[in-house]
Amino acid sequence: LFVNATKDSTTTIPDTLFGIFFEEINHAGAGGLWAELVDNRGFEAGGQATPSDIAPWFILGDETLLVLSTDRSSCFEHNKVALRMEVFCDSKGPIICPAEGVGVYNPGFWGMNIEQGMNYKLILYLRSYNPINVSASLTDSTGSQTLATVKIIASSVSNWTRMEFLFAAEATNPNSRLQLTTTQSGVIWFDQVSLMPVDTYKGRGFRNDLFKMLADIKPAFLRFPGGCFIEGNRLPNAVRWKDTIGPWEERPGHYGDVWDYWTDDGLGHLEFLQLAEDLGALPIWVFNNAISLHGEVNTSIILPFIHEILDGLEFAKGDASSTWGSVRASLGHPEPFDLRYVAIGNEECQMKSYRGNYLRFYDAIKHFYPDIQIISNCDGSSQKLDHPADMYDYHIYTDANTMFSKYHAFDYSARDGPKAFVSEYAVTKKEDAGTGSLLAALAEAGFLLGLERNSDIVEMASYAPLFVNTHDRRWNPDAIVFNSAQVYGTPSYWMQQFFVESNGASLLNSTLQASSTTSVLASAIIWKNTDDAEYYLRLKFVNFGSGTVSLKITINGVKINTKSSTVTTLTSNNVLDENSFDKPAKVAPVKAPLTADVDADGKGMVVTLSQ
């Protein structure tokens, strides 16, 4: 490999090149990054009609002693459904309740992670015509071990009453549940039952360990909230941002019919913008463009959809005196968010109404926000777009060989039009990727080297999907796997760590010469951190072949400080190796001092790339 590190041999990689794409898929948010522990906290999962689907709430106790039903008596206008619990036993007879009481429990999203010494905030709304005496407790999955209890006693709750308690957990169990029980006959209504760990990232509601995984790959941008999630199979199930802001109790929630689960939308529009800000990433809002997977609205009548999006932009960007900016300010964020990009839809380029709808959104947004960069989802990598756009979206899910060969995907793309946003890429062929293999990561790394090399035209790239709750794998593979208490990165996650310094770095001219095989790819970047006097040089190699490769590297223009140089390797015995909860770092980067045979002048060395 010959690397030319002289000044006239560099190009600057965009600051935005590598980021992340968060979609509400695989319970990534509900039961994932969003730390709410109660699933279906408002009993609305079945929709607004009653009887409603209260799963995963369960009856606790003998079914002849209590009846659970739902009615529309809630104090929340957009969430009228409430749980009605009628109890037929008492502590005084004639039918005596069991000592442990009867009631309901919620196991959360496949078990709640409760940790000894940590605090959990319970908020609930209830009412009853009688005085109440309820126990709220955190127990193991069978109810036999109690981790924390609070007593809910009130003499007068005939009107809906908000109550808040703090649990201090006395034991640890990643598969806990929340129980609400009583030993008194009568009727109690419950609604909006929430249990949150007190310790979330900056108290914002983001699960600490999952947030850290995102922060560690230093994303330059956050694309959200979908994906097909924003489309919906049917339009009524698409995401409508206004339903996802404001007090959590009043958010209607919605059924994401593409990935087939209910979300309470605790992780809403404001939380996504906040997440981006907390990650130091630029938000990229993907909105529904009046098209769902199985239905579209004719362009002539999409004005209400356009107003909705303009309001959303004002919510994010307007100052605190504007109509929607003031709503944002009232929700605790007076400063506008740095929203510079929006995507008009996700993957609807082939749909009948796409262009018509797109142009209406485009014109309206550019009229009111001329600086916003607009992303079309028609691929402009091989032919020019037939409509105006600042960027075009490019999605690729394929086998490992094809992905590796896509190193060249943008070599011949037009340089004079919109930039490319590779907002979803992954090796997905089952035999190659499994649930996240080294082979997939290597192929993707080759693809990313091509994006670096073409970063005069490629502005942004993100892997997809980002998260999977191991209990709800709607899509394989994914970058980050978790359950209620544990998390690990797949090789594709770790692969991205090799690119964290690329954003804004200088790409050096480098040439793989002569006998090097076509299965080896390389790149060289150089950058300087603000407070450091010295520059950092990173050479990246991908060996996609089946043999060991010995590389002679010559670097022109800089002298390497070999003493502080390191080599980081992502490899394993078998290319199909994967990580797991038991072996989370089976395929993870290993960093070691550079031991390569370095020439005396520090300009040349020989490294060996294992197969």
Q: Applying CB under 6 A, does 23 fall inside the site for ligand AHR? A: yes
- Candidate ranges 117-125, 223-231, 295-303, 366-374; the one touching ligand AHR (CB under 6 A): 223-231
Q: Which alpha helices (DSSP H) does 406-437 contain, by range?
A: 430-433
Interactions with ligand AHR, residue window 474-533 (CB under 6 A): 475
Min CB(487)–ligand AHR separation in Å: 19
CA distance 157 to 186: 13
Min CB(293)–ligand AHR separation in Å: 10
Paired sense of beta strands 597-598 and 2-4, if any: unpaired
Min CB(427)–ligand AHR separation in Å: 13
Taking phi first (over 0 means left), then psi (-120 to 50 degrees means alpha), and beta for anything else, what does residue 10 get? beta
41, 51, 568 from 190: Cα distances, Å:
10, 15, 54
Backbone angles phi, psi at 398, to 5 degrees: -155, -170
Contact call for residues 89 and 120 (beta carbons, < 8 A): no
Structure tokens at 180: 């609400």
* Residue number, 346 or 490, with CB nearest to ligand AHR: 346
Min CB(61)–ligand AHR separation in Å: 41
Q: Binding ligand AHR by CB under 6 A: which of 52, 182, 274, 346?
A: 346
* Residue number, 347 or 399, with CB nearest to ligand AHR: 347
- Candidate ranges 135-143, 222-230, 329-337, 482-490; the one touching ligand AHR (CB under 6 A): 222-230
Output the 3-class SS for 138-175: EECCCCCCEEEEEEEEECCCCCCEEEEEEEECCCCEEE
Min CB(475)–ligand AHR separation in Å: 5
* Residue number, 396 or 451, with CB nearest to ligand AHR: 396
* Residue number, 397 or 527, with CB nearest to ligand AHR: 397
Contact call for residues 31 and 527 (beta carbons, < 8 A): no
Contact call for residues 59 and 66 (beta carbons, < 8 A): yes
Structure tokens at 509: 């001219």
Min CB(374)–ligand AHR separation in Å: 18
Interactions with ligand AHR, residue window 383-442 (CB under 6 A): 395, 424
Min CB(29)–ligand AHR separation in Å: 13
Q: Which residue is nearest to ligand AHR (CB)?
A: 227
115, 243, 412 from 139: Cα distances, Å:
12, 33, 60
* Residue number, 443 or 537, with CB nearest to ligand AHR: 443
Q: Binding ligand AHR by CB under 6 A: which of 464, 468, 508, 525?
A: 464
- Candidate ranges 224-232, 316-324, 337-345, 549-557; the one touching ligand AHR (CB under 6 A): 224-232
Would you tell me how many other CB atoms lie within 10 Å of the CB of residue 307?
11
* Residue number, 23 or 577, with CB nearest to ligand AHR: 23
Interactions with ligand AHR, residue window 227-286 (CB under 6 A): 227-228
Min CB(221)–ligand AHR separation in Å: 16
Asked if the bond preceding 94 is cis, omega within 30° of 0, the reply is yes
Binding residues with ligand AHR: total (CB under 6 A): 12
* Residue number, 239 or 522, with CB nearest to ligand AHR: 239
Q: Applying CB under 6 A, does 465 fall inside the site for ligand AHR? A: yes
157, 412, 439 from 496: Cα distances, Å:
54, 25, 14
Q: Binding ligand AHR by CB under 6 A: which of 61, 101, 205, 226?
A: 226
The alpha-carbon radius of gyration of the chain (Å, integer) is 27
CA distance 352 to 251: 32
Min CB(309)–ligand AHR separation in Å: 19
285 CB contacts (<8 Å, ≥6 apart)? Answer: 224, 272, 312, 316, 339, 341, 342, 343
Q: Applying CB under 6 A, does 347 fall inside the site for ligand AHR? A: yes
Strand partners, 392: 376, 420
Min CB(240)–ligand AHR separation in Å: 18
Binding site for ligand AHR (CB under 6 A): 23, 25, 226-228, 346-347, 395, 424, 464-465, 475
